[in-house]
C-alpha cells in the first residue's frame, strides 16, 4: 500500500522481480482493509507507514494476521503502536525501498512458501493436535484454502509450537493440516515411533485409548489411499500392543471417555480405538487372554469399518437407517448397499494383509450379525456366530451406546434385549456383570 501511484508501480516492480507472485496494490488504508476482508490470504504485505496506518495495524492485530510485513517509513513519520507485535521482515526508508524489498524477500525465503493447486488425493490429513507431537516436522505441512488449493505453512524442520496450536486449532478452528501423499510414510513412521516411545516409557493405561484414537486417523488416511500395506499393518500392530499392555494393567471399563477428546479425531478413529480396548477387557474377563486372541480382537476393532469412508456411515447400525438420512432415492439405495456390504468388504481388505493371525476376517464379517438372526449381511444367529465374533458384537454395542447415547456399561447391560442371554452371549454378559467397575459406574 502506497498513497502515490508512481511509487506503487516501483514497489510492484521490486516485488515481482524477486518473488513469483501476484501483486495487488491499494492507495489507502481503507482500500487495503477492504481487500483483506475479501478473505484471500497474502504472502507479504508492503505498507507505507503514516498517521492513518495505525488503523491498519489495529485491523491486522484484530484478525490475528500472520502475514509478513515490509514497512516503508520516512524518518519523520510517527511510530505506530502495536507494530512490535507483528511479523516485520524489514523497516525501510522509502528511498531505499527497491533494494531493501528485494533483499528482505531474498532473506526470508518467501519463494519457498508456495500455494499449490492440487488434486485432494495428493494430500493426506494430519490432525492439528498431532503436529505438536511430531516436532521437528519431517515434512512440509499445508493448510487447505479450498478443495483444490493448499498453502504451505510449515517447512520440514520447523517446530509446531504451543502458540501455533492455540492460533490454528483453538482460535482459527482448523482441525486438520495436510502433508503430501509422498510424505505420508514419514508422518506414519514418526507417529509409530511416538506410540513405541510411550510404550517403553510406560504409558498410563487410561491414556491408551486416547493415544490410539488420535493416531488412528492418519493410519486410516494412509489405508484409504494405499490399502493394507506392511507399513499400515506394522503401525496397527504397535497401537494394538499399546492396547494390550494397557488392558493387562487395568482391565476395566470405567472412565472410558476420560482420555478421549472427541473433537480431536474422526468418529471412525475414536470408535475403533475404544472398541479395541473394550473387546480386550471382555476377553480378559472371559479368560481368553492369550496375546494372539487379544491381537485378533485389536486388528478386527481397528479395521472392522475400514471401507466406510465417512463418519455418517460408520454411525449407521442397520441399512434401514439410511432412509432416515434422506436424499435422492438412488443415493439412499447406494448408501444401503455400502452399509449392507461393508462387513464382507472390510473382511476382504484384511484378508489381503500378510502375516496376520487367522479369524480376524471372520470377526469383521460377522460384526453386524445379531444373536436372534436379525443382523446383516448373512442373518446368522447365536448358534452360528463364532464365540470371538459374539464377544466383538457385544463390545461394539457397548461402544456404540456409550459414545452415542452416553449410557454407562451397567445401563447398557440392563438394556440389552433377551436374545443376548442365549448361548455364548449369555456367558459374555455374565462375565461383564461380575466386573466390579461395571457395577460401580
Binding site for Fe ion (CB under 5 A): 305
Question: Which residue, 4 or 321, is less far from Fe ion as judged by CB?
Answer: 321
Taking the complex as a whole, the smallest distance from the CB of residue 280 to Fe ion amounts, in Å, to 16
Q: Which three cell numbers stand for residue 344?
A: 464382507
Q: Is 55 exposed, middle or buried (0-12, 13-18, 19+ CB in 10 A)?
A: middle
Taking the complex as a whole, the smallest distance from the CB of residue 389 to Fe ion amounts, in Å, to 13
Question: Which residue, 153 or 316, is less far from Fe ion as judged by CB?
Answer: 316
Q: What is the number of the residue whose Cβ is closest to Fe ion?
A: 305
Question: Which residue, 305 or 369, is less far from Fe ion as judged by CB?
Answer: 305
Cα-Cα-Cα-Cα torsion 413, 415, 416, 419, nearest 10 degrees, comes to 130
Taking the complex as a whole, the smallest distance from the CB of residue 89 to Fe ion amounts, in Å, to 51
Question: Which residue, 231 or 311, is less far from Fe ion as judged by CB?
Answer: 311
Question: Which residue, 192 or 271, is less far from Fe ion as judged by CB?
Answer: 271
Taking the complex as a whole, the smallest distance from the CB of residue 367 to Fe ion amounts, in Å, to 6
Question: Which residue, 232 or 403, is less far from Fe ion as judged by CB?
Answer: 403
Taking the complex as a whole, the smallest distance from the CB of residue 366 to Fe ion amounts, in Å, to 11
Question: Which residue, 295 or 305, is less far from Fe ion as judged by CB?
Answer: 305
Question: Which residue, 48 or 305, is less far from Fe ion as judged by CB?
Answer: 305
Taking the complex as a whole, the smallest distance from the CB of residue 364 to Fe ion amounts, in Å, to 8
Question: Which residue, 217 or 305, is less far from Fe ion as judged by CB?
Answer: 305
Q: Which long-range contacts (CB under 8 A, 24 or more apart) does 138-141 make?
A: 138/183, 138/186, 138/187, 138/190, 139/179, 139/180, 139/183, 139/186, 139/187, 140/179, 140/180, 140/183, 141/177, 141/178, 141/179
Question: Which residue, 305 or 361, is less far from Fe ion as judged by CB?
Answer: 305
Taking the complex as a whole, the smallest distance from the CB of residue 14 to Fe ion amounts, in Å, to 58
Taking the complex as a whole, the smallest distance from the CB of residue 228 to Fe ion amounts, in Å, to 17
Amino acid at each position: 500500500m502506497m498513497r502515490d501511484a508512481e511509487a506503487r508501480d516501483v514497489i510492484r516492480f521490486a516485488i515481482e522481480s524477486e518473488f513469483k507472485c501476484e501483486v495487488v496494490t491499494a492507495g489507502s488504508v481503507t482500500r487495503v482493509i477492504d481487500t483483506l476482508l475479501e478473505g484471500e490470504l497474502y504472502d507479504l504485505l508492503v505498507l507505507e507507514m503514516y498517521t492513518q496506518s495505525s488503523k491498519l495495524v489495529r485491523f491486522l492485530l484484530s484478525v490475528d494476521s500472520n502475514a509478513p510485513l515490509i514497512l516503508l517509513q520516512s524518518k519523520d513519520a510517527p511510530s505506530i503502536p502495536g507494530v512490535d507485535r507483528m511479523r516485520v521482515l524489514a523497516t525501510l526508508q522509502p528511498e531505499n525501498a527497491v533494494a531493501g524489498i528485494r533483499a528482505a524477500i531474498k532473506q526470508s525465503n518467501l519463494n519457498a512458501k508456495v500455494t499449490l493447486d492440487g488434486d485432494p488425493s495428493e494430500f493426506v490429513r494430519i490432525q492439528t493436535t498431532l503436529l505438536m507431537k511430531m516436532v521437528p516436522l519431517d515434512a512440509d505441512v499445508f493448510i487447505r484454502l479450498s478443495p483444490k488449493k493448499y498453502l504451505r505453512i510449515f517447512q520440514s524442520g520447523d517446530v509446531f509450537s504451543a502458540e501455533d496450536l492455540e492460533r490454528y486449532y483453538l482460535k482459527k478452528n482448523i482441525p486438520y493440516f495436510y502433508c503430501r501423499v509422498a510424505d505420508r510414510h514419514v508422518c506414519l513412521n514418526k507417529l509409530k515411533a511416538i506410540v513405541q516411545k510411550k510404550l517403553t516409557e510406560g504409558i498410563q493405561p487410561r491414556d491408551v485409548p486416547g493415544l490410539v484414537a488420535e493416531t488412528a486417523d492418519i493410519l486410516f488416511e494412509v489405508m484409504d489411499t494405499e490399502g493394507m500395506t506392511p507399513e499400515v499393518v506394522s503401525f496397527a500392530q504397535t497401537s494394538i500392543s499399546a492396547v494390550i499392555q494397557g488392558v493387562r494393567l487395568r482391565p476395566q471399563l470405567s472412565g472410558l471417555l476420560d482420555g478421549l477428546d472427541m473433537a480431536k479425531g474422526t468418529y471412525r478413529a475414536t470408535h475403533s480405538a475404544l472398541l479395541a480396548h473394550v473387546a480386550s477387557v471382555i476377553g480378559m474377563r472371559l479368560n481368553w487372554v492369550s496375546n494372539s486372541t487379544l491381537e485378533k480382537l485389536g486388528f478386527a476393532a481397528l479395521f472392522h469399518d475400514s471401507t466406510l469412508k465417512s463418519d455418517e456411515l460408520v454411525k449407521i447400525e442397520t441399512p434401514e437407517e439410511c432412509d432416515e438420512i434422506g436424499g435422492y432415492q438412488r443415493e439412499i439405495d447406494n448408501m444401503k448397499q455400502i452399509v449392507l456390504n461393508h462387513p464382507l468388504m472390510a473382511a476382504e481388505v484384511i484378508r489381503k494383509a500378510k502375516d496376520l493371525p487367522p479369524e480376524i476376517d471372520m470377526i469383521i464379517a460377522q460384526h453386524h450379525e445379531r444373536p436372534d438372526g436379525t443382523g446383516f449381511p448373512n442373518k446368522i444367529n447365536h448358534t452360528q456366530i463364532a464365540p470371538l465374533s459374539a464377544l466383538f458384537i457385544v463390545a461394539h454395542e457397548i461402544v456404540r451406546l456409550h459414545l452415542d447415547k452416553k449410557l454407562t456399561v451397567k445401563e447398557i447391560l440392563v438394556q440389552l434385549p433377551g436374545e443376548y442371554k442365549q448361548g455364548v452371549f449369555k456367558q459374555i454378559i455374565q462375565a461383564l456383570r461380575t466386573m466390579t467397575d461395571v457395577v460401580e459406574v
